[in-house]
A = this chain, B = another copy of it.
Amino acid sequence: MKTNAPITLGYDERLPLYQRLREEMLAKIAAGEWTPGAPIPTEAELTRLYGVAIGTVRKAVDTLVNEGLLIRSQGRGTFVRRPNFDSSLARFFRQVNATGGREIPTSRILAKALQSPSRTVAAALELEHGEQVIHMERLRMVEGRTLFHEDIWLPASRFGALLEIDSERFGELLYPFYETQCGQCIASAKETLTVGAADSAMAKVLSVEEGAPMVMIERMALGYDRSPLEYRISRAAAEGFRYQIDIS
């Protein structure tokens, strides 16, 4: 076939073409050349760019669509997917208002401060020695009832802009805020669920008896280049938590 100066596909030459193409596309996303919400080049363009057949391009795109990194939309194009957190463990609490509809809890930020990190936090965020963090303490409530208590840590080097902004202006969702105010885009996260008993302070915050079962969700959120951006611990009364999975 005719190859109009196609870009050489790097990486291991023994790998199948479509996998090497996949790696190239991953790199584009990680580097921010292809950004969430914007369309990537069309299949025909990719065919020309890399000098491979359309079927090979489609197979490479297929794998990334299956992994949830890209979304195809017939007639419009293929886009870098913005993660939604519908599968978050935190969604498996009863989050209903009086009329029975599910709703996003309202946020109240109790504290926001620049700190030296604990060892745990420094390790989670992979901080250099002496690097500082922004710590936030937040409540999430539905109709006056406290659903979660959250501790949030962010590397000060990337999120300094947050210190300048009044907490009142934060809104309910933090991640869009991180993106617009700090240019930091969350691409994925790992959550770990454990169960414990509420101590007296947390019992008061969550309005339960001391010693009542409590669910803890630890979240490590990463950017598209897989660098750690946010470390978060959420606590909630275990009552009303109901998590479901399918096995096959």
Contact = CB atoms under 8 A, between A and B. Distances in A.
- Interface of A (DSSP majority class): strand
A83 B242 contact: no
Residue of A68, A214, A248 most packed against chain B (CB within 10 A): A248
A205 interface: no
Interface stretch (A32-40, A159-167, A189-197): A189-197
How many copies the complex holds: the figure is: 2
Nearest to A83: B248
A60 to B, nearest CB: 14
A183 interface: no
A49 interface: no
A206 interface: no
A211 interface: yes
Q: How large is the interface on A (under 10, 10 to 19, 20 to 34, 35 or more residues)?
A: 35 or more
A195 B192 CA distance: 15
A55 to B, nearest CB: 8
Contacts of A147: none
A238 interface: yes
